[in-house]
Every structure is written in C-alpha cells, then in structure tokens.
C-alpha cells in the first residue's frame, strides 16, 4: 500500500541525502511530498547536483496527512529550524509516533523540536555535541534505529545502510529495501 512521505527541505540540502532515499521510497511505490515555505518554488542542493520543485507549502499541510517524515541534511535543516512552523511540524510528527528518518544534519530539526531527550541516534560529527546537549544518546554507527520510530544516519557514505533501514520501523511504512533491524545492535533498537 502506498504511503505518503513528507520531506522538509529548502536550499542547500545535501543532494544525495534527498535524492537517494526519495528514489528508494518512490521505487517502493510511495509518494514523496516536498514541503517548504512556498509551493512551486525550486530549491537546489548544496552541490548543485539536484534541484527540487516544492510540492506543498508548510502552511498547507499537517503531520496527520503523512505516514513518515524524511529530514535530509546539508544546510537545509539549519535554515528550516529558524522557522517555528517547521519546528512545530517536526515536533508534532515525532509525537505522533510515526516513522522519522533523519540523516547528517537532519537531526538539527529534531533538536530544535526538543524531541530527542532520552532517544538513541547518530548524526554528522559537527552536531554530536548538540545531540548530546539535547539529551540524546549518541552512537557513532552508520544507522541507529530508536523505538522502531526514529531512524538516523551520519553522512552520504551511510546511505546504502540508511536506505535499507529507510522504511521499515514497525512495519508502518512498507519495505523500501530489506530491513536493517537484524544488523542493528540491541542498544539501538
């Protein structure tokens, strides 16, 4: 069954951290919906390899319309967390219990939403101290899955593992590729 995947994204996202998971979701038959301040706007990746036309404006969506949330890295999460609408959307989405996928700097939105206290996750090195200061347990692993809801990864190098874990928490989003749960240490499930 097709699911709706919300993607909070703006200019200077890490190109492959959007394009690779989005392609996996689409290949699995899911609908990927990009969300920014303005629908119809084109945003560009920081490497200039990808551009994305925004599907929906943040003011026109609610977390309950989606089955999962993807937060690609790059500078995009840092820019978005300065806008309370994106922080509120992220907080409400996490609190709904639905799957959330964040890679690289993506956890910056989770930090600003104050939803990682007591959670297990990973992220790119420059924000490790921010993750820890927000009360999360940091693990330097290519993929960390917490409470069958939060799937995090560090960098584009981790995308193959991230994509394998990309849409499987608790079966709420059908498989994108094979699950990583059998590879994930017990500490991080």
Catalytic (active-site) positions? 104
- Are residues 122 and 91 in contact, defined by beta-carbon separation less than 8 angstroms? no
Chain-centre distance for alpha carbon 131: 15
CA 92, CA 100: separation in Å to the nearest integer? 11
- Are residues 52 and 40 in contact, defined by beta-carbon separation less than 8 angstroms? no
CA 37, CA 154: separation in Å to the nearest integer? 26
Q: What is the β-pairing status of strands 68-71 and 150-153? A: unpaired
- Are residues 123 and 107 in contact, defined by beta-carbon separation less than 8 angstroms? yes
CA 144, CA 153: separation in Å to the nearest integer? 7
Output Rg (C-alpha) for the chain, integer angstroms: 15
């Amino acid at each position: 069954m097709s699911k709706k995947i919300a993607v909070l994204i703006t200019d200077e996202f890490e190109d492959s951290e959007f394009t690779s998971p989005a392609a996996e979701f689409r290949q699995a038959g899911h609908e990927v919906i990009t969300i920014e301040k303005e629908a119809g706007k084109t945003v560009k990746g920081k490497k200039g390899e990808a551009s994305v036309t925004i599907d929906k404006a943040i003011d026109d969506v609610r977390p309950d319309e989606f089955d999962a949330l993807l937060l690609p890295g790059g500078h995009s999460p840092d820019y978005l967390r300065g806008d309370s609408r994106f922080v509120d959307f992220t907080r409400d989405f996490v609190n709904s219990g639905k799957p959330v996928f964040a890679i690289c700097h993506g956890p910056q939105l989770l930090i600003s939403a104050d939803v990682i206290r007591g959670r297990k996750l990973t992220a790119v090195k420059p924000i490790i101290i921010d993750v820890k200061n927000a009360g999360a347990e940091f693990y330097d692993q290519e993929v960390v899955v917490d409470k069958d809801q939060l799937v995090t990864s560090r960098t584009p190098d981790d995308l193959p593992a991230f994509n394998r874990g990309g849409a499987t928490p608790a079966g709420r989003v059908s498989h994108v590729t094979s699950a990583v749960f059998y590879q994930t240490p017990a500490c991080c499930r």
